[in-house]
Amino acid sequence: MPSILAQSEDDSGDFRLFSAESSDASQAENATNSGGRSTSPRRKTVLSSSSASVYPCSCSSSCFDSEKLWRRLVMASSKGFAIGAGLKGGLAVFSVLARFKNRRRHRRGGVVMNGEAIGVAVKETLRYGLFLGSFAGTFVSVDEFIAALGGKHRTARWRSLLAGAVAGPSMILTGYDTQHTSLAIYILMRAMVLASRCGIKSKRFGGICKPLSWSHGDLFLMCLSSSQILSAYILDQESLPVSYKSFLNKHGGKDSSILQGVKEIASGMPFTNLEAIEKHYKSLGVNIKLNPEMKVPCTMVHGDESCTSHVLSFLAEAYGRALLVYLPVYLIPALIVHRQGLLKRPYTILGKSFFGIARSSLFLSVYCSSAWMWTCLLFRIFKTCNIPMVAMGTFPPGLALAIEKKTRRIEISLYCFARAIESFFACLSKADLLPKSTKLKRADVVVFSFSTAIIMHCYAQEREVFRSKYLNVLDWVFGVPSPTDLDGTQVSTVKRNEV
């Protein structure tokens, strides 16, 4: 895998200055130790001034370099904005293109035209750009300010922790009244993973955290998440985030009337919409008559098809839908992270991207089709349909994650686990099993700030617990060398955790 850290260094003025100073300082020290006279007083003055520019001294705040702060602030904010707007904008583009296939979309009983959809997409793109740009700018400002007041060495162990916490409330820029519980929980999961990696390599906590390094833990986590998410998709969609519910409805491939029918038979309720299901199939050219006394909903789920033929036809349709999901997921980061490599090795990078798109699309399509396969199989084996059976049938589809690349499995499982946790607690709250709190209106911001504090602390103090691709992006945005590099070690020599 080509090193992108070198590219990140080229894009950051701080990294170039840091590398140059380390090299010049080493040459000067070698010349002095060997008794040479090549280091002039003027040369020493330049080195001293340059060092003060990169690492503010710990004696007083008068050493604060406003030019360096301004440079880091502008670079970090602009790069953060580019990532936020690029990712959100890329997804919005594909969403708008999908809307153009169907001129109108119904929402809240009204009609959403393409012009309005584009306006919403632009607004969301700008909001997420401002969110990440503000987060990066705030972190850099607090980091530099504390370093100038307390000294870079003396504050190294806690400075990034505080800066990450202070930057967390930037999430509000995505919308003051918009709750981002799913995002906050996901970032919390990411923070916990980094903390667990720190614990695994720790002598004190290594034995306790050893079970967290189980090689197939990601598959188990995905199966656990799948059981909650897919069960909620059939039985209680209101417990899912709106955007995720829309995602599942699209890739679940079933009309809402069918889901309602399965929910009623699983919950033991009388049928209320069998005619709507029959009408739906009739619009597809299939004439069926549903039995109100049915015990197994296979006919309701796939009409006059057999379970096997339904799975195969559904797999082909699901693969086409999944391709539209993973095109932006792979191509947009490739344009951002591998922007320079694309000019030198376009076929290699694009080839890997398209292979990743094909494999990830296969994962999503197998995941969705196997969900219907397992539920049909259990319904027919036990000749009944109930809530425990639905939960059991939606557990094995998580094994489809094995199709994905190993390094992506934990990301996907954590993403799904975050939504499973949110759905699980929403179900508990709906059943009045959780105490209701009215004091903390934006718990998502608090959780997000706590999580970013841990993540940024690990970034500054425990860089080896990050995967190289994430470390490269963070280096490119923030341009902060690790504290272990203060002795002159090059940033590019930092080891990466590929586990």
Question: By CB neighbour count within 10 A (0-12 exposed, 13-18 middle, 19+ buried), where does 343 fall?
Answer: exposed
Is residue 455 located within the same domain as residue 403? no
Which pLDDT does position 98 carry in this prediction?
63
Rounded Cα–Cα distance for residues 286 and 282 (Å): 5
Is residue 112 located within the same domain as residue 167? yes
Is residue 119 located within the same domain as residue 254? no
Is residue 348 located within the same domain as residue 376? yes
Cβ proximity of 179 and 447 under 8 Å? no
Rounded Cα–Cα distance for residues 459 and 484 (Å): 12
Q: Of 460, 485, 486, which Cα lies nearest the Cα of 471?
A: 460
Cβ proximity of 374 and 396 under 8 Å? yes
Is residue 247 located within the same domain as residue 298? yes
CB neighbourhood size of 106 (10 A): 9
Which pLDDT does position 478 carry in this prediction?
86
Residue 89 maps to a domain: yes
Give how many domains the chain has, as a whole number. Answer: 3
Ranges of H-type helices in 3-113: 5-11, 13-33, 41-54, 66-101
The residues pairing with 107 across neighbouring beta strands, listed in sequence order, are 110
- The DSSP-derived string for 218-276 is HHHHHHHHHHHHHHHHHH-GGGS-HHHHHHHHHHH---HHHHHHHHHHHHTPPPS-HHH
Rounded Cα–Cα distance for residues 121 and 275 (Å): 37
Rounded Cα–Cα distance for residues 343 and 330 (Å): 17
| DSSP letter assigned to residue 383 | T
Residue 491 maps to a domain: no
Is residue 185 located within the same domain as residue 203? yes
Q: What sign does the CA torsion over 153, 159, 161, 164 have?
A: negative
Angle between helices 159-167 and 114-150 (to 10 degrees): 150
Q: What is the torsion angle, in degrees rounded to the nearest 10, for the CA atoms of residue 44, residue 11, residue 132 and residue 330?
A: -150
Residue 188 maps to a domain: yes
Q: Of 154, 201, 181, 135, which Cα lies nearest the Cα of 456?
A: 135
Given 430, 457, 472, the domain boundary residue is 430
Residue 496 maps to a domain: no
Length of the chain: 499
Q: What sign does the CA torsion over 156, 162, 166, 171 have?
A: positive
Six-digit token string for 257: 């009337």
Six-digit token string for 35: 């008794």
Rounded Cα–Cα distance for residues 75 and 308 (Å): 55
CB neighbourhood size of 231 (10 A): 24
Is residue 402 located within the same domain as residue 253? yes
Which pLDDT does position 87 carry in this prediction?
79
Residue 490 maps to a domain: no
Amino acid in the structure at residue 88: K
Residue 315 maps to a domain: yes
Which pLDDT does position 344 carry in this prediction?
80
- 217 to each of 77, 182, 392, 397, 446, how far by Cα in Å? 36, 21, 19, 15, 28
- 27 to each of 15, 23, 55, 101, 210, how far by Cα in Å? 18, 6, 19, 64, 44
Domain interval for residue 31: 1-53
Cβ proximity of 241 and 182 under 8 Å? yes
- Residues with Cβ within 8 Å of residue 103, at least 6 apart in sequence: 113, 114
Which pLDDT does position 426 carry in this prediction?
86
Is residue 188 located within the same domain as residue 40? no
Cβ proximity of 307 and 313 under 8 Å? no
Which pLDDT does position 57 carry in this prediction?
41
Cβ proximity of 356 and 333 under 8 Å? no
Given 18, 34, 53, the domain boundary residue is 53
Angle between helices 307-337 and 66-101 (to 10 degrees): 150
Is residue 93 located within the same domain as residue 203? yes
Is residue 400 located within the same domain as residue 422? yes
Splitting the chain (499 residues) into consecutive groups of 10 residues, what average pLDDT does each group show? Answer: 36 35 41 42 37 38 64 87 83 67 48 63 86 91 87 87 92 82 85 83 65 75 94 92 86 93 92 91 90 90 91 95 88 74 80 92 96 93 92 95 90 87 87 64 87 91 82 81 43 39
Residue 97 maps to a domain: yes
Residue 435 maps to a domain: no
Q: Is 153 helix (H, G, I), strand (E, B) or coil?
A: coil
Rounded Cα–Cα distance for residues 420 and 416 (Å): 6
Is residue 7 located within the same domain as residue 31? yes
Rounded Cα–Cα distance for residues 129 and 277 (Å): 43
Rounded Cα–Cα distance for residues 98 and 96 (Å): 5
Rounded Cα–Cα distance for residues 12 and 269 (Å): 62
- The DSSP-derived string for 101-116 is HSS-EEETTEEE-HHH
Rounded Cα–Cα distance for residues 399 and 421 (Å): 19
- The DSSP-derived string for 326-352 is HHHHHHHHHHHHTTTHHHH-HHHHHHH
Given 10, 31, 53, the domain boundary residue is 53
Is residue 116 located within the same domain as residue 66? yes
Rounded Cα–Cα distance for residues 412 and 415 (Å): 5
